[in-house]
Amino acid sequence: MAFEYKNLKIEKLTVIGAGQIGPDICLHFAKTFWKDKVEFVLVDVSQDALDTAKAKIEKKIAYGEESGAFKPDMAEMMRKSILYTTDYSNVAGTNLVVEAATEDGNIKDIIFKQVEKLTDDACIYLSNSSHMQPEVIFRNIENKGRCLVAHYFFPAERNPVVELVPGKETDKQITADLMGFYETIGKIPIEVGSSYGYAIDPIFEGLCELAILCLEKGYGSVKEIDAIAQKTLKQGVGPFTALNLTGGNPITNHGLEEMRKTHIHWFRSPKTLQEMVAQKGKWETAKRGEEVEVDPEKAEVLRKQFLGGYFALCSYIIDLGITNVNDLDMATEIALVIGAPFTMMNRIGIDKAHFLVREWCAEHTSFPFPKSLNNAMLNGGWKVSRIVCRKVKGIAVLTIRRPKVLNALNLGVLTELKEAIEKAENDRTVQGIVITGFGTKAFVSGADINMLAALKTPEEGYENSHTFQELINSIEKCKKPTVCALNGFAFGGGNELAITCTARIAKKGLPVVACQPEANLGFIPGSGGTQRLPRLVGVDIAAEILRTARPVSSKEALEIGLIDCEAENDLIEEAVDFANKLVSGEAQPREFMKGGSDAKLTPKAVNIGHLSKKIDDIMNRAIYEGIKLPLPEALELEAKLFGECILSEDMRIGLENFKKNGPRAKAEFVHR
């Protein structure tokens, strides 16, 4: 068997290097492709390294099996699929090679020259380098069109970000296919221009350098600097702890010295880091659970150092022109577990961010003030969007990209989506619009729960609902056909967004394509769900789905008319084709009930189980009174009734239960 994605067909995949990151890369592939029966080869010149790698991989598989993450047959297939070998002849027949050996240009050159003799011209070569440019790594490969850097982040099987760095001669179609391939297998790829260290490592290593400089200047101890950096930048761990966890002292030491040559003179390995590398030591960081108290004056000095330095480093990367603000804002936050830099600057105020960097650069004189930050200042802030726009066959494809929260909606995202739709509507070269979500798991996972939990009064609830409705209504008002391409499940506001589109298409075989889970959380939908769903699939069918909060598969969705068709092959390609058919009149949108009926419709008996009777009563009023009204009036009714939910005890109980125990735990409603 094989895994196929567009022009890529993978029957055999080789990972070279059984050190720290190679086994994790191999494990991720084995976990992803176990059903496709892809053959994996893990190669290393050291049998000891291979033995250690095998023990590491099998320990993680065993843990996954014990926790229930891996079914026994999956775990067994993963174990059987990997060949651990020192014999490079086993690379023969490979379709994709991922090299994860030592960060040494000569070693990488030897490896790829050897691999090139064993593989055909269709084999793609990826190097998991953290710094080196593809032109250097693949300098002696005959067919450079198939060569890229794929920079993984620690830990590689769990950290989703991958920087894809094509060389000057890399085939653009291969790069595009790999971007889609990595998204399909659950990663978050960003394309980065060829530059030493790429986009993210200069930021990470620059922060490590800054932390050590603060130590050398006496601004604080290792523990104090770590604590303030972590708190200030919203890091998962401080820079010193990160260096310890990743064994990063040697590579950071080398990377900083190289960036001094390739970038700006501010980058350099501080003396203290060089000494730590020579001693093969670790930083004396705080132990787990240890509280670190820092004098307020000292903390303020460190806070300014890290805000100024972080903002300067990220702006400098934009100056290089190797990536864009949207990609770097997202990828830095996820890869490094740190606050999204450009969003942070906008939040604290671009004037204040500009001042902090100006003050920081005055102390760090070898760091030039970033031109891009000056431009952001003139424009009133950084333009950061979670909507990725591209054009395919005359159709604007708009992708909601918030992978950290499974593309959850908030007012900011909906505003950006509205702006993107208006831009496409005013573009004469665009005939229609496709709206989809990033990744393969979720189209949109719903609305931001923290935003909903912050609502305190019926008036606030009404305004929130009304605002969401107005933003989503912009889709319905669009004069060009809109197709929602459901790449994964659409929960809550995601389904409400989808049913506002002209038509919907889903990946075939999705076990869950839609759900209105609001009743499970103690409130009713507030963005049109109680009004548009009954008009689309019928009142009683919609009522049962809304009142029970149960999920709907793509098969059922097709049967009841919630979606127009299922995509057999590439979802976006089929959605674009469907949009063009709507434009030409070859396809017609499903008839939508207008409402305003005088029919005496009454709620049918539905088993709502443990769910709130109080909220069910409000839900029924919204559905059965709303269907008698024209849609604008019905949406107004929904907004008012959503606000009424704020007064109930059950909404508070439902939201608190969700935040504390997760979506699967049943709330103990009191029906008040």
Domains of the chain: 3-191 (3.40.50.720), 201-378 (1.10.1040.50), 387-499+510-545+592-661 (3.90.226.10)
pLDDT (average), residues 473-498: 96
pLDDT of 451 above 90: no
The answer to whether the bond into 511 is cis (omega within 30° of 0) is no
Determine the distance from the C-alpha atom of residue 118 to the mean position of all C-alpha atoms in its chain, rounded to a whole number. 36
Per-residue model confidence (pLDDT) at position 592: 75
Question: For residue range 143-180, what is the model confidence (pLDDT) as tens digits?
Answer: 999 999 999 999 999 999 999 999 999 999 999 999 99
Per-residue model confidence (pLDDT) at position 596: 59
Active site residues per annotation: 496, 518
Reported pTM:
0.93
**Pairwise CA distance, residues 442 & 489, whole Å:** 5
**Pairwise CA distance, residues 313 & 234, whole Å:** 16
Q: How many CB atoms lie within 10 A of CB 37?
A: 13
Q: CB–CB of 643/461 below 8 Å? A: yes
Confidence tier at 415 by pLDDT (50, 70, 90): very high
Confidence tier at 502 by pLDDT (50, 70, 90): very high
Question: For residue range 431-442, what is the model confidence (pLDDT) as tens digits?
Answer: 999 999 999 999
pLDDT (average), residues 360-376: 98
Question: For residue range 555-612, what is the model confidence (pLDDT) as tens digits?
Answer: 999 999 999 999 999 999 999 999 999 999 999 988 877 665 655 678 889 999 999 9
Per-residue model confidence (pLDDT) at position 594: 61
Per-residue model confidence (pLDDT) at position 1: 80
Interior angle at CA 324, CA 321 and CA 327, nearest 5 = 140
Confidence tier at 450 by pLDDT (50, 70, 90): confident
* Distant-in-sequence, close-in-space partners of 240: CB < 8 Å, separation ≥ 6: 208, 211, 222, 225, 226, 283, 285
pLDDT of 85 above 60: yes
User: What is the DSSP secondary structure assignment for residue 37, as one 8-state letter?
Assistant: T
**Pairwise CA distance, residues 446 & 324, whole Å:** 27
pLDDT of 491 above 80: yes
Question: For residue range 382-405, what is the model confidence (pLDDT) as tens digits?
Answer: 999 999 999 999 999 999 999 999
pLDDT of 640 above 80: yes
Continuous segment of H or E residues that includes residue 42: strand 39-43
